[in-house]
Chains A and B, each alone.
Chain A
Amino acid sequence: MSKSLIIAEQSEIIRKGLVYIAEAIGIFRSVREVACSSALMDHIERYQPDVLIINPGMVSIENLENLKEQNKGDLKIAAVVYALFDDDLLNAFDDVIMVGDTRQKIQRKIHALLDKTPPRKASRPENTLSARELDVLKLLVKGLSNKEISDKLFISTHTVISHRKNITHKLNIKSVAGLTVYAILNEIISMEEVQ
């Protein structure tokens, strides 16, 4: 019971919910609440918490980086999220707690923060296709099957499927017909090649 926690969140219902879940873990000597960002810095300075759970809307990315610098990694900061935020901002946190997470999941995340496990490095969303993915895309929109693509590129069908998943994920286009339009638009293949 030696750790201390600050929860910064405007919504009382969410703040109290987090307090309840955090206290149930039984490792915090104190759990403090902050409801508005103006009191936040003052609280952190005064109470030197080990963990801060905060609504990303209450802090700017510069503030966040300053905070981390001042505390030299002794302060772990998690975001509590129920709206859409910029990935750059969320990546600056040690972890992200979703409002829809189960109690167990939230408690696991808090534990992981204190275990000094290296902060989760959320991979930056990379939307451009790799050279290999482009190869797969070209063959795919020409109407080749997974098996045919795997023979042509000397990779396993499993790898082809995994490339396809990544392509779909990056482009947010699932169907071959949709990918075809994308490929033509981006001059990955020519109109003639798909006919």
Chain B
Amino acid sequence: MQDLIISGKMKMADIINHDKRALVLMPRFGIELGFGDQTVKEICADKGIDTDFFILMVNVFLNPGYFPDRKLKNLDVDMLLLYLENSHKYYLEEKIPYLENLLEEFKNSVDHPVTGQLEKFFTQYIDEVKDHLAYEDHTAFPYVAALSEQIRKKQLDLSGIDYNIGVFEERHDNIEEKLSDLKSLLIKYFPTSNDRYIRIRLLNELMDFEEDLINHARIEDKVLIPIVAQLEQKIS
């Protein structure tokens, strides 16, 4: 698959057909499928999404080498936060419960006492992910929202807010290590299960989740952090 750099003139359906990873992005922008042959620009106009913002986000998400540069300047921070919160919601309400169900099914298909340990390991991993997401939802994002609000009202007073994006950057540690271990165990070391498809399904979903999280982290590193750093400079 070749990299895809999208533009406003492209048809949304073509983008998804070219790169299926774009599919999970639709609900994060509040876009429903069934848009016919509409272009990115048309759909964005319809939904009240800033087209440049949409293009920037999708390109960063789909392309590890894409660097947004100047386009960041006029980006709507609230829109970005909404997108990030929607992503978290998807992980927490959709993806993680699904993974948990699959693991349960897998556990039942393997006749080995070690599955208890595997479950413990998996639970630890999921808890780490949840902690990470909760920290962003309850500490980092509200700070960014407050910052943007102050700039809008031209209050420019940050006393009372004891936080800065540097803290976020430091805490933005990787939560991928355990996931990678889990993959190795399932691919290489677990004994054959009674139902081979459940294992493939589980692995498929884990890899999908892993990739999604990596792309999501790139949005935070390349878009969120630089933007907030810019806002902070405006105020200080």
Tell me if chain B binds chain A: yes
Question: CB within 8 Å of B: which residues of A?
Answer: 171-175, 177-182, 184-186, 191, 194
Chain B nearest Cβ from A100, distance in angstroms: 12
The answer to whether A178 touches B185 (Cβ under 8 A) is yes
Please count how many residues in chain B sit with their CB below 8 Å of the partner chain's CB atoms: 20
Enumerate chain B residues within 8 angstroms of A180, measured Cβ to Cβ: 117, 121
User: What's the nearest-Cβ distance from chain B to residue A119, in Å?
Assistant: 31
Hey, which chain A residues are within 8 Å of B180, CB to CB? 172, 174
- Please give the residue numbers on chain B whose beta carbons come within 8 Å of chain A beta carbons, in ascending order: 112-114, 116-118, 120-121, 124, 177-178, 180-182, 184-185, 188-191
* Assembled-state Cα–Cα distance A178/B117 (Å): 9
Residues in B with CB closer than 8 Å to A177 are 120-121, 124, 178, 181
Q: Nearest A residue to B177 by beta-carbon distance?
A: A174
- The answer on a CB contact under 8 Å between B190 and A173 is no
Complex Cα–Cα for A174 and B121 (A): 13
Number of A-B contacts (CB under 8 A): 52
Inside 8 A of B188's CB, which chain A residues have their CB? 172
Please determine whether B189 and A185 come into contact, CB atoms closer than 8 angstroms: yes
CB <8 Å contact, A173 and B117: no
Give complex CA distance A178, B184 in Å: 9
CB pair B181–A173 under 8 Å, yes or no, is yes
A-B contact pairs, 16 of them (CB 8 A): A172-B180, A172-B181, A172-B184, A172-B188, A173-B181, A173-B185, A174-B180, A174-B181, A177-B178, A178-B178, A179-B181, A181-B117, A182-B189, A185-B185, A186-B189, A191-B116
Q: Contact between B114 and A178 (Cβ–Cβ < 8 Å)?
A: no
- Chain B min CB distance to A182 (Å): 6
- Minimum CB distance partner of B121 in chain A: A177
A171 contact set on B, CB distance < 8 A: 184
The residues of B that contact A186 with a CB separation of less than 8 Å are 189
Residues of B within 8 A of A175 (CB): 121, 177-178, 181
